[in-house]
Amino acid sequence: MGSRPQIGVAVIILDSQGRVIMGQRQGSHGAGTWALPGGHFDYGESFDSCAKREVLEETGLEIGQVQLLATTNDYMPEAGRHYVTVFMGATIVGENKEPIAMEPEKCAKWQWIQWSEVAQWAKGQAEAEKVSEPWEGKYLFLPIVNLFRQFSDFDLIAAYRL
C-alpha cells in the first residue's frame, strides 16, 4: 500500500420503507463487519459509474437516481490502510429487487436492514470504542461508523431526495 489514501465508494441503496442493503464482509480488511455494497474507485471512472458497476458486480442489482451524499476520512492503521470513502445514494431501477451474493468470497449474503437500526449500531459501536469496552451489537465497517462520527447530524432521508 502506498503512502496516499485510496478512494472507496459505498452505495446506500434506499427503498421506500427506509431500508438499505447491507452484508457482512469476508476475506478482506474489516472481515466480519457489516458494510454497504461498494469498492475501489477506478482510474477514469465517475462516482456514478463506479457505484453502478460495484452494485451490479456484488449484488446483481441495477441502480439509478445515483447521487453524492457524503465523504469520510477512514484511517485504518491496524490494517495498514487509509481511504477516503465516497457515499453515494441510489435506488433500484431494474426488475430484480432482491440482492444476490454475486461474490460470496467477499460477502456471503446481502439483506435489507432499516437505516435507523444501522444508525443505532454505529452510535453504540462508537460509544463502546470511546470507553474501550466490547460492543455487544453488530459491528459496522469503519467508514459507516465514521459517517455518523464525522457527520453527527447525518440524515439519510433528508440527504437523499428521491
Q: Is 91 part of any domain?
A: yes
Mean pLDDT of the 93-114 span: 94
pLDDT at 6: 96
Q: What integer is the mean pLDDT of 50-66?
A: 97
> Average of pLDDT values for 62-75?
96
Residues 6+ positions from 12 with CB-CB distance below 8 Å: 20, 36, 69, 87, 88, 89, 90, 115, 156, 160
CATH value at residue 102 = 3.90.79.10
81-92 and 63-76: which strand pairing?
Answer: antiparallel
Residue 86, classified by CB atoms within 10 Å of its CB into exposed (0-12), middle (13-18) or buried (19+), is: buried
Put residue 55 in one of left, alpha, beta given phi > 0 → left and psi -120 to 50 → alpha: alpha
Question: pLDDT tens digits for 132-154?
Answer: 888 888 899 999 999 999 998 88
**pLDDT tens string 5-52:** 999 999 999 999 999 999 999 978 888 999 999 999 999 999 999 999
How many domains does the chain divide into? Answer: 1
Q: Is residue 1 part of a domain?
A: no
Task: Tell whether 89 is covered by a domain.
Answer: yes
The mean pLDDT value of the chain amounts to 92
Domain annotation covers residue 88: yes
